[in-house]
């Protein structure tokens, strides 16, 4: 018997907000890894909001807003406000809806993360220590739900017909 191992892919993103410029970064994170998004399912992304000293920021007084941007067409596909999982520890989550991913092609895009506070202009959030604001995402055609009526296998027809297995002339 064969075993098939599966695991839950739950992308986690560290987001930095520069509030206190006197705090020094302790451990440099060179780059942020690419997030993979799959069609036909909702894709959760968990965000950890920190300062440049890698300490969690309390997100009680502001919202974390994430924009999904189509890089090729230069348009914002959707905008999400993070749901606060643990505001004191700076943990929030967005769910990128399956319908939003259907609108864009399977290729590289990016997410933009912002801090939105009432009465203030939105502030940019960085996804690594090189002050990059673009978090790369890759859209895949990974999950395809189907119904048997939608399948067209080309060779399947009524078994009572004479040309049930007819593949045409293969001698050419």
**Averaged pLDDT, 99-119:** 87
> Per CATH, the architecture of 12-146 is what?
Sandwich (2.60)
Q: Whole-angstrom Cα distance, residue 144 to residue 8?
A: 17
Rounded percentage of the chain residues whose pLDDT exceeds 70: 71
For 11-21, what is each residue's pLDDT tens digit? Answer: 888 888 776 55
Residues 29/13, Cβ–Cβ less than 8 Å: no
């Amino acid at each position: 018997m064969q075993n098939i191992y599966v695991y839950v892919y739950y992308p986690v993103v560290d987001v930095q907000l520069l509030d206190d410029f006197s705090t020094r970064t302790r451990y440099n994170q060179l780059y942020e890894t690419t997030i993979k998004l799959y069609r036909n399912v909702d894709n959760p992304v968990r965000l950890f909001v920190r300062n440049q000293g890698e300490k969690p920021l309390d997100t009680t007084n502001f919202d974390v807003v994430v924009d999904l941007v189509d890089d090729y067409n230069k348009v914002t596909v959707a905008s999400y406000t993070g749901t606060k999982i643990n505001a004191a520890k700076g943990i929030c989550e967005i769910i990128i809806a399956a319908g939003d991913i259907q609108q864009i092609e399977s290729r590289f895009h990016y997410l933009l993360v912002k801090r939105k506070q009432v009465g203030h202009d939105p502030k940019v959030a960085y996804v690594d220590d090189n002050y990059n604001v673009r978090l790369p995402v890759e859209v895949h055609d990974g999950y395809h739900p189907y119904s048997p009526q939608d399948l067209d296998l080309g060779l399947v027809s009524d078994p009572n017909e004479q040309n049930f297995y007819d593949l045409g002339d293969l001698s050419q």
